[in-house]
Structure 1
Amino acid sequence: MAENNTPAAPPAKKGKLKLIILLVLVVVLAVGLSVVGTLWFLGGGLPGVTGNDEAPQEEAEVFQPSVYLNIDKALVTTVQAENGGRQRYAQVYVSLEADTPETLAAAELHLPLVRSQLVSLLGNSDFTELQTPQGRAALASSMLATINQVLEQEGEAPLKGVLFRNFVVQ
């Protein structure tokens, strides 16, 4: 009987195809596990799994932008000059910063009292200090404390900041 010397090609082709499919599955599984592991270690949790087993976490603070009120009229007064020298003037335009519009509405309601207190505070300031950035920052801080004191006396919420729009001393 004659023997067939041709190699069996089809079985070798099936073996290579199975090997390629197996390697692709291993690579996809490795990538998927690395993504899930990264999410788990970074605290994002596993996708599709809710963390009901854990204690309830505090809700994250939601960003709330500030609201502003421009005081249209300038605060103008004389300031204390060094060594009793010539008379010096200060002109300041300010804006008030708050977390809520209701706080600004309260500040606007009491604006005559606020302006009076701010003009007095500005008038008691030293001219040489107002020429430095640190002196202006201290004045803004003092103005904020003064306004918040007025609002507290009136039973209102405090402001967040006082901003200078224009600042002139001469």
Structure 2
Amino acid sequence: MAENNAEQAPAKKGKLKLIIMLVIVIILAVALSVVGTLWFLGDGFSGDGDQVDANPEETSFIASSYTDLEKALVTTVQAQGRQRYAQVHLSFEATDPLALAAVDTHMPLIRSKLVMVLGNTDFNEIQTPDGRADLAVQMLVTVNEVLAQEGEPEIKRVLFRNFVVQ
């Protein structure tokens, strides 16, 4: 019987080694998982943080804000000797909320200038997508000129919410 007991003792040591190896493998897998997650999220290593701080302009995102022109711009547009009508609903986009507040403050002057810009356009031009894009650029320049005269920050874009010509 002594011989049987001697053979069973090494079997227990083999199981103990197997359990220890499995625990070590599981701990390594969890550690690698945590390190990998931190690496991909970019929060983990201090060396990566230095690189992000070196270019703050590229990584920072500034959300745009919008304001709508309450009433549509309605004016006549000349088309080959005939009078046509144009009705445009506008929105203004800016990254600086102060610019939108300035637009609201100076709305009567801005509205007057935009009616003049719309009235001076050619009817055939504003019927094409390129003509409408050019009109939006002209309106943006006009609004930013008014804001610059008043010492206010500029807006980013003029957007058409509705555009009707007849």
TM-score (norm 1): 0.77
Name which of 69, 90, 97 aligns with 1:101: 97
State the alpha-carbon separation in 1 of the partners of residues 164 and 41 from structure 2. Answer: 52
Which residue of structure 2 aligns with residue 125 of structure 1?
121
Q: How does 1:1-20 map to 2 (within 5 A)?
A: 4-20=2-18
Larger radius of gyration: 1
Q: Give the corresponding residue for 1:134.
A: 130
Q: Identity over the aligned pairs, expressed in percent?
A: 46
> Could you list the per-position Cα deviations for residues 73-106 of structure 1 after superposition, in whole angstroms to 9, with x for gaps in the alignment?
221112231xx24221111111222223322221
Counterpart position of 2:69: 71
2:141 aligned with 1:145: yes
- Calculate the TM-score normalised by the size of structure 2: 0.79
- Residue of 135, 153, 157 corresponding to 1:157: 153
User: Which stretch shifts more, 68-77 or 27-36?
Assistant: 27-36
What is residue 168 of structure 1 aligned with on the other side? 164
The 1:123–1:55 alpha-carbon spacing in structure 2 relative to 1, beyond 3 Å, is: closer
Shift of 1:69: 2.0
Q: Which consecutive aligned stretches of 4+ in structure 1 deviate over 4 angstroms post-superposition? A: 39-43, 53-56
**Equivalent in 106, 110, 121 of residue 110 of structure 1:** 106
Assess, with a 3 A threshold, how the Cα gap between structure 1 residues 72 and 54 changes in structure 2: closer, same or farther. Answer: closer
Offset at 1:45? 5.7
Unpaired stretches in structure 1, ≥5 consecutive residues: none
Q: Is the 8 A contact 2:96 2:153 kept in 1?
A: no
Q: 1:54 to 1:150 in 2, by over 3 A?
A: closer
The count of aligned residue pairs is 163
3-state DSSP of counterpart to 1:136: helix
Q: Extract unaligned runs of 5+ from structure 2.
A: none
**Structural RMSD (CA):** 3.0
